[in-house]
Amino acid sequence: MAHIADSLYSGFLRSAERFADRPALAIDGREYSYAEVRARAASIAATLAVRAPESGPPLTAVFAYRSVTAFTGLLGTLLRGHGYVPLNHTLPPARTALMLERSRARAVIVDRESAEQLHDILRGNPDVTLILAPDEQDVGWLAGQLPGHKVLGARDLEPGEAWIAPPVDPDAIAYLLFTSGSTGVPKGVTVAHRNATGLMENMVERYDVTEDDRVSQTHELTFDVSVFDMFVTWQAGGCLCCPTQKELVAPGRFIRKSGITIWFSVPSTAIFMKRLGLLKPDSYPGLRHSLFAGEPMPIEVARGWLAAAPGTNIENLYGPTEATIVCVGYRWVAGRSEAESEAGVMPIGEALPGVRTLVVDGDLREVEPGEAGELLVAGPQVTPGYWDDPETTAEVFIVPPGESERFYRTGDRVRSPLPGHPMTYLGRLDHQIKVRGVRIELGEVEAAVREATGVDGVVAVGWPATTTGADGIVAFVGSAGVDIVAAKATLAARLPPTMVPRRFVLLKALPLGASGKFDRKRLLESLAEEKE
Amino acid sequence: MSEVTAEQVRAVVLEELSEPIAALGLEPDQLPDDFDLLTTGVIDSLGLIELIVAVNERFGLDIDFEELDPESLTVLGPFSHYVASAAP
């Protein structure tokens, strides 16, 4: 098998040559060597090439959850020369169906557990023709449920030994991820190979990752930090350790049992570990690096983590999917970091190699050091834009006045650093919030609530507020007669659990602010007053 | 020191999770002891940790979470019995 430089998977293939017998993946009590993972992925790639239609966009969906199929399926998709579209069976099937339909992918790679949802997800889908369940011996039951689709199982796989990955255009899509969209439908972010390859190399160097490292894989594949987990590890020849859904519930036990040396999670996981008393002194002596991204990292949690893992480096990384995983980072320095923090959370630090940041005012003019403004990001990690949505792409991927480079408008408020100081994160400019690290557009929640209730006046707010975002969502509905139970059931079938409002407040009319828009601030204050 | 019974724990769990359970169209009283809160989608892994925090706080307990077997931890009956047995 030959490999082509500068694609997301090149590093994996190099490691598969050098470290064939070393473990590439540990999952569900088993380890898979590089040779084995490569063989499985190559076989999937060959099967896709022979059996999947050539028409349609060069994308293949991977509908698998914390299974060996998920990882070999995604690698096989890349080795086929396609970009992968990760889908997650713990999300409502209606939402998964929408993502799949929007991607227009022709083939879906599936594992056993997720396959049971396929019947619902494929209903009305005009594009998908091939279903590949590479780890299922018997696919008769699935074929029976999916008339009109070609269903292939383990016995139908083509041999992979002779498979040669086709040359990949660095501008080709490596993966397509859907994030919450303010207009009511998920937004697809396309990421090209060239956006990610440099970052992977920089990160292997930054953390001195080697074949002896065992790296956690806590992030869902639908969340782009998982790309870091996988491809930084595989580039270095290390072992990716993926906890099962159940193991994820006991993260401390997982770290010790799996011999994790590099941990990466959303801060929420660390916050809960601290609350549960899992950050006892010296609990995790094997950790070399502990990385956090996705939401603000409270400094008290960083301190607790450092006590539990005295040998670790702690970093807070920042980055939107549109600028490829992480683009700004901050390394904790005892004694100094407390002073550099703002509002109790770690700074986000400085631009990673190759990244250019700009902090601007409403007219896109750079603000003075020490002032707050919107963070813009430029450099090789800035992605081509949104899938099938040139309008939104043109709105947020821009060339500011006086600049020649293309920048992504993050919508995040930061403080422009004074010389010698790190950048600090201040919050969002719009109505996007984070609930346990998951990015949520309140506009999307509001659109869904409007549809579920038939009421136009709807405001969603993050509540209760936490140092990292919010614990959940409260929806205010401007109507006295709404069947809340029915509305919740409708929403639960459409939205991920974190996006379903925990509580509905019915008001005859929603208060208006000076601009004539609904007064969010007053609604939030009403919740705060309740608590007192 | 008042005793904590498995029934009390179960009632608190169902109360804490009444909304997601209702959203799935399930009746809290009808749930069997082997009902798995995680795999049925009532809560995710972080939600379960939240639940443990809530149960600890409601009963004034400080249960060593590390001792729990992840396999049974997410199942209604074993969870309730474990909390009750771990309570002083």
Q: What residue ranges do the domains of chain A occupy?
A: 4-168, 207-318, 432-531
In terms of DSSP bridges, do strands A397-398 and A407-415 run parallel, antiparallel, or are they unpaired? Answer: antiparallel
Instruction: Kindly state whether A486 is in contact with chain B, defined as any CB-CB distance less than 8 angstroms.
Output: no
Around A342, how many Cα atoms within 13 Å sit in the side-chain half-sphere? 17
Examine domains A4-168 and A432-531 and report if their fold is the same: no
Q: Which of A249, A275, A276 sits opposite B45 (nearest CB)?
A: A249
- Record the tokens describing residue A272, joined without a space: 């809960």
Residue contact B22–A247, C-beta within 8 A:
no
SS3 string, A284-344, reads CCCCCEEEEECCCCEHHHHHHHHHHCCCCEEEEEECCHHHCCCCEEEECCCCCHHHHCECC
- Record the tokens describing residue A143, joined without a space: 């074929």
Contact A118, A139 (CB under 8 A): no
Q: What is the pLDDT of residues A86-97, one digit of tens each?
A: 999 988 899 999
Name chain B contacts of A249, Cβ cutoff 8 Å: 38, 45, 48-49, 70, 73-74
Nearest CA in chain A to B52: A276
Residue A148's SS3 state is coil
Q: Which of A245, A276, A500 sits opposite B53 (nearest CB)?
A: A276
Least Cα separation, residue A218 to chain B (angstroms): 11
> pLDDT at residue A517 above 80?
no
Residue contact B39–A272, C-beta within 8 A:
no
Beta carbons within 8 Å of A414's beta carbon, 6+ residues apart: A348, A359, A372, A373, A374, A375, A423, A424, A425, A426
Q: Which CATH architecture has domain A4-168?
A: 3-Layer(aba) Sandwich (3.40)
Least Cα separation, residue A140 to chain B (angstroms): 25
Note if the bond before A464 is cis, omega within 30 degrees.
yes
Nearest CA in chain A to B50: A272
Q: Which CATH superfamily is domain A432-531 in?
A: ANL, C-terminal domain (3.30.300.30)
Contact A341, A299 (CB under 8 A): yes
Contact A408, A322 (CB under 8 A): yes
CATH of domain A207-318: 3.40.50.980
Q: Report in angstroms the alpha-carbon separations of A276 from A246, A340, A403, B62.
A: 17, 28, 49, 8
Dist CA B60 CA B42 (whole Å) = 24
Q: Report the predicted TM-score, pTM, of the whole model to 2 decimal places.
A: 0.89
Dist CA A376 CA A357 (whole Å) = 6
> Could you report the predicted ipTM of this complex, rounded to two decimals?
0.78
Residue contact A253–B66, C-beta within 8 A:
yes
Least Cα separation, residue B30 to chain A (angstroms): 18
> pLDDT at residue A496 above 60?
yes
What is the average pLDDT across A183-208?
A: 94
Q: Which of B23, B25, B38 sits opposite A249 (nearest CB)?
A: B38
Q: What is the pLDDT of residues A333-381, one digit of tens each?
A: 988 999 999 888 999 999 999 999 999 999 999 999 999 999 999 999 9
What is the average pLDDT across A153-161?
A: 96
Beta carbons within 8 Å of A76's beta carbon, 6+ residues apart: A40, A41, A42, A43, A44, A45, A47, A48, A109, A134
| Among A67, A60, A58, CA closest to A37 | A67
Q: What is the pLDDT of residues A114-124, one digit of tens each?
A: 999 999 999 98
Instruction: Kindly state whether A303 is in contact with chain B, defined as any CB-CB distance less than 8 angstroms.
Output: no
Dist CA A371 CA A350 (whole Å) = 16
- Record the tokens describing residue A110, joined without a space: 């599936």
Nearest CA in chain B to A436: B46
Name the region of A320 (left: φ>0; alpha: ψ -120 to 50; beta: rest): beta
